Amino acid sequence: MKGAAMNANVWNGAGRRIFMNEVGTRDGLQMEAAFVPTEDKIALVNALSEAGLSKIEVTAFVSPKAIPALRDGEIVMREITRRPGSIYTALVPNVRGAERAIDARTDELNLVMSVSETHNLCNLRMQRSQSFEALKQVIATAQQAATPVNVSLSCCFGCPMEGDVPQAEVLAWVQRFADLGVQGITLCDTTGMAYPSQVYALVMAFKARWPQLGLTLHFHNTRGMALANVLASIDAGADRFDASIGGLGGCPYAPGASGNACTEEIVHALQLMGYDTGTDLARIVAAASALPALIGHDIPSQIVKAGARWDLHQPPADFSEIKERALAKA
């Protein structure tokens, strides 16, 4: 649906389907200092499956030295209970990671590089051209195994060191991966620099050029604009979003700031507006509420803190006396 046609309807979902990708079990847990026991990771993924998340990024197949928090990736991926209709994906950085992920029955591989040269060097220790050549090999490995590939492009909405990345440059990187036959692209707001009008323009440009290529948006709430950016994306025709249970995750270039868009906050808002997310919000909130005990600290989720809009409270214990005094003054 064209953005112009949707403009009058973005505030009224009218049952339109929005697909939620859960990334907290990878993008969130990888940043935690405390190691979450393997059985608890499996239980968390299973709970998210039961909540109806359409895609779950379960883990990452990287060196245990690089991300020790996810050193049990193979066990988790093998032992989760798979719900029909859900896709279980994992981050893989190289051919060896892809082979491990495929062997563990991962449904889809998620590859990452940055559209910012400076960020790519800082984050991956490679030039963009080097990352691209390495990922070409990973894509070939996945295609030989008939395993779908999604590519997450970091800093599409701005780099904390370079500033804005020109839209034409972002789209040129999308084209390179589209030419390789990947199934999907995620446009990532890696450090929370995106703003709604910018998001709308980039999504419209993407949808016009690649209407059949899968598109996911990945926003951070670093500056409090994640929900606004989700709505701008929907207005431009997007229907799939990454989000993290409890708002887990962080931003290395904004210490102390919140990280990923929060799954239950986005679902709560979209459901109130009439969108169909295919999820059970109560189950998501229950899973999020258990996170502080697992990770040893509070979580950003405002829905866990305040409850859903329809979670009502009892009047104070002396409400009858308050009412009587008010009536006596009438």
Q: In sequence order, which ranges of 66-214 are alpha helices (DSSP H)?
A: 73-79, 95-103, 117-124, 128-144, 167-179, 196-209
d(CA 71, CA 80): 16
As to burial, measured by CB atoms within 10 angstroms (0-12 exposed, 13-18 middle, 19+ buried), residue 99 is: middle
Per-residue pLDDT at 22 exceeds 50: yes
Q: Which residues are tagged catalytic?
A: 251
Q: Is residue 243 classed as helix, strand or coil in its secondary structure?
A: strand
* pTM attached to this predicted model: 0.95
What average pLDDT is seen over the chain? 95
Domains along the chain with CATH numbers: 3-329 (3.20.20.70)
Residues 6+ apart with CB under 8 A from 232: 196, 197, 199, 200, 203
pLDDT digits (tens, 9 = 90+) for 237-273: 999 999 999 999 977 666 766 789 999 999 999 999 9
The upper half-sphere exposure of residue 173, i.e. CA atoms within 13 Å in the direction of its Cβ, equals 27
- Using alpha carbons only, give the angle 169, 149, 283 rounded to the nearest 5 degrees: 105
Angstrom distance (rounded) from CA 186 to CA 218: 7
| Closest to 259 measured CA to CA, from 281, 273, 243 | 243
Q: Dump pLDDT digits (tens) for 181-217.
A: 999 999 999 999 999 999 999 999 999 999 999 999 9
